[in-house]
Structure 1
Amino acid sequence: MFLALLRSETAASPERRAAALAGLRAYQDAPRPAPQPPMPAIARAGRATLRDYGGDGAPVVFVPSLINPPVVLDLDAENSLLRWLSRRGVRPLLVDWGTPTPDDRAQDVTTHVEQLLLPLLAALDRPPILVGYCLGGTMAIAAAVAAKAAGLVTIAAPWRFAGYGDALDPISALWDEAHATCEQLGLVPMEVLQSGFWQLDPKRTVAKFERFARLELASAEARAFVTLEDWANGGAPLPFAAGRELFDDFFVADLPGNGRWRIAGAPVDAEALGIPALSFVSTTDRIVPAASAARLGDVRELAMGHVGMIVGGRARAALWQPLADWLTALPAPR
């Protein structure tokens, strides 16, 4: 899939194609450090676990996307939002969705909220603050409607899927092509989802490997690229039903944005939460365009990319610190 994209984007420039291929080979051959051990689990629901990052204060449950691993919030020892927050009066807890198998084929996004996320929250001794990133933010909104929460933060969380505009056409075409195979597998492989991300910004996909070919492999910049690219290309598959609901009911039918998504039998009315809320919205995000993002409570706009707002060089000042300030200023939940 990447090679087909590369041929298309560099058809008029053999030099660029050669540079991108050299960068791809250098990335494949780059050394990798040993992965960080997972933090202790304090609750389980099915294959999902809730991992404790320590710290003081009210419990703050971070809900990552079902797409790509949750470790983007704990990328490495030097670039970890969760570990940083745990030293600043916050007690971060991370939802780890686990790895689905074909036996989980009937678990859609709604089921993940109802049967995995809500039981994890119920295991806590007091209502948590929910922080959801990307699709995890969409799910955190639903959980905040269905269960008692002390507050809600969304970070680049899609909600009004009609806001994707013309980008919906290639997304729909991708699902039309992959649907039958995914249904047979009972899973949506990460490669299917990744090819969709590549199509949102093909020029950048090629250019980043061209640029990597010029870096010294021992440099901090090269190591950071490898760590982030491994995260972007990794991750468990989605259960087939989760992929179907995401593509058909969210992207095409826009059930959340139209107020027709239901959790535990009730519609998810994001505007009627009645709890403190904060939304970070990126004005330059191609994965979750600003027109599609949730805007609840205090809305902060950032001119940063979808991933850069979490792990980029400006993330600490632009998002980490404002998030810590907002979380620690909330009244203690009862």
Structure 2
Amino acid sequence: MSTNALGINMSPQIKREAKRWNQLYKIMTEPKPDIVPTPRECVWKRNKTTLWFHPAKEKRYETPIFLVYSLLNKVYILDVGEGSSVVGGLTELGYDVYLLDWGSPGLEDRELTLDNYIVDYLENAVKRALRHSRANDITMAGYCLGGTTAAIITSITKLPIKNLVLAAVPIDFSIGIVPDKWLEGIQKGQLSFDRFAEAHETLPSEFLYLMFRMLSPIYGSPKINLFTRAHDEKYVEKWRRMDKWTKDTASFAGAAFKQLFNDFYKDNKLLKGELLIGGRKVELKNIKCPLFVFSCSRDNLILEQQSLPVMELVSSEDKTYKVFEGGHVSLALTGAFAGIMDPWLSAHSKEILKVQHN
């Protein structure tokens, strides 16, 4: 049994409890943690959108990875710090990584549509990544709504996309975590966000934070876990990063928000093959490259049933679907996304041949 600074004997249980409350006090009183990105350089920029290049620590593969995340959240969830970064994990494994950061639109961006984001920003960023890397082709990897946009661009572009990886991706928008009455109202045209979006022009980040907080338990249940695991310093550090990210929501262009709810949630045009982006019809059957899709067993944001239809809609002969243990946010926050992708990706990426010296 040890003693504290006052010479009072402390049992292991008391020490653990004291540490727990000290950690909780620090969380409540200290500023949010800094997020230090994996070494990177900006290689392209348009308006608020930035394309980051993260070079492999020791390059093993000629095929770079292009990561796409949701327009609704900040992209740094994919690069939250050493030891739990998706980007860092991939660079450690020998992949060059390009990460698209959509940025956060201002009032001047209110007329931006999904067409603008997917064609003007995403497609042009992929072109820039291909030129910068001097690679013959590239792997597209999309997470959450970033997977939806990755699938869309792969189906309409002529760019050389070698592989497509989709994680926790919504394809069927007729189901989801939205309350049934809301979803039914949206689908029947009884509930519309058009006037709300037009009034705000660009939806403020505070609204999106409240919307996610109402719809998903990931914005509440982690606090319960924190109280029980506050003695664990590694867990607390990860919790602080997640807490910062959940409260650091991006704003959203009004025109794109209207399009998202009308074309996807109301009319489910992507699933039906009726979606038009940049004047091009989005038909997932145009996807013929190798495809890897996976869901998480405890995902409270994107249900497995929303992802599964893509397997039947694409024309890819080489396609794999798997379910992994975990939740939606933990997939990124723990860096597990990188480890899940690697076995499949390494088999579908051109490995650099090393010259043997005698």
Q: Do the two structures share a fold, i.e. TM-score over 0.5?
A: yes
Give the match for residue 127 of structure 1: 137
Residue 175 of structure 2 aligns to a residue in which SS?
A: helix
Report how many aligned residue pairs link the two structures.
306
Q: 331, 337, 340: which is aligned to 1:309?
A: 331
Residue 171 of structure 2 aligns to a residue in which SS?
A: coil
Contact 1:145–1:273 at 8 Å: present in 2 too?
A: yes
Contact 1:24–1:209 at 8 Å: present in 2 too?
A: no
Residue 341 of structure 2 aligns to a residue in which SS?
A: helix
Inter-partner Cα distance in structure 2 for 1:323 and 1:109: 27
The farther-off stretch of 130-139 and 166-175 is: 166-175
Q: 45, 48, 69: which is aligned to 2:74?
A: 69
Q: Once superposed, what is the RMSD of the aligned Cα atoms?
A: 2.9
Q: CA deviation at 1:188?
A: 1.5
TM-score if structure 2 supplies the norm length? Answer: 0.76
The farther-off stretch of 165-174 and 34-43 is: 165-174
After the TM superposition, which residues 147-158 of structure 1 pair with which residues of structure 2 at under 5 Å, given as runs? Answer: 147=157, 148=159, 149-158=161-170
Q: 1:196/1:113 Cα in 2 relative to 1: closer, same or farther (>3 Å)?
A: same
Q: 347, 350, 353: which is aligned to 1:329?
A: 347
Give the match for residue 268 of structure 2: 254
Contact 1:286–1:306 at 8 Å: present in 2 too?
A: yes
CA-to-aligned-CA distance 1:180-239 (integer Å, 9 cap, x gap): 44322311223322333233345x644432443455478222221111011112132010
Q: 82, 86, 90: which is aligned to 1:81?
A: 86
Letter in 2 for 1:321: G
Residue 179 of structure 2 aligns to a residue in which SS?
A: helix
Q: 1:169/1:282 Cα in 2 relative to 1: closer, same or farther (>3 Å)?
A: farther
After the TM superposition, which residues 1-334 of structure 1 pair with which residues of structure 2 at under 5 Å, given as runs? Answer: 27-36=27-36, 39-55=40-56, 56=59, 57=61, 58-123=63-128, 124-125=130-131, 126-147=136-157, 148=159, 149-164=161-176, 167-170=179-182, 179-202=194-217, 205-216=219-230, 219-293=233-307, 295-296=310-311, 297-312=319-334, 316=336, 319-332=337-350
CA-to-aligned-CA distance 1:29-48 (integer Å, 9 cap, x gap): 34433332572111223321
Q: 1:167/1:304 Cα in 2 relative to 1: closer, same or farther (>3 Å)?
A: farther
CA-to-aligned-CA distance 1:89-143 (integer Å, 9 cap, x gap): 2111100112211111111223200110011111223432100011100000111
User: Which residues of structure 2 form unaligned runs of 5+?
Assistant: 1-22, 312-318, 352-358
Letter in 2 for 1:325: P
Contact 2:89–2:339 at 8 Å: present in 1 too?
A: no
Contact 2:182–2:191 at 8 Å: present in 1 too?
A: no
User: Which residues of structure 1 form unaligned runs of 5+?
Assistant: 1-22
The farther-off stretch of 210-219 and 273-282 is: 210-219
Q: CA deviation at 1:155?
A: 0.6
User: Which is helix-richer, 1 or 2?
Assistant: 1
Give the match for residue 16 of structure 1: none
Residue 131 of structure 1 aligns to a residue in which SS?
A: strand
TM-score if structure 1 supplies the norm length? Answer: 0.82
Contact 1:135–1:157 at 8 Å: present in 2 too?
A: yes
Residue 150 of structure 1 aligns to a residue in which SS?
A: strand
Inter-partner Cα distance in structure 2 for 1:178 and 1:160: 20
Contact 1:183–1:240 at 8 Å: present in 2 too?
A: yes
Contact 2:213–2:220 at 8 Å: present in 1 too?
A: no
Inter-partner Cα distance in structure 1 for 2:296 and 2:265: 19
Q: CA deviation at 1:172?
A: 7.7
Contact 2:177–2:215 at 8 Å: present in 1 too?
A: no
Inter-partner Cα distance in structure 1 for 2:246 and 2:225: 17
- What percent identity do the matched residue pairs reach? 22
Q: CA deviation at 1:326?
A: 1.8
Inter-partner Cα distance in structure 1 for 2:112 and 2:207: 18
Q: CA deviation at 1:24?
A: 10
Q: CA deviation at 1:269?
A: 1.6
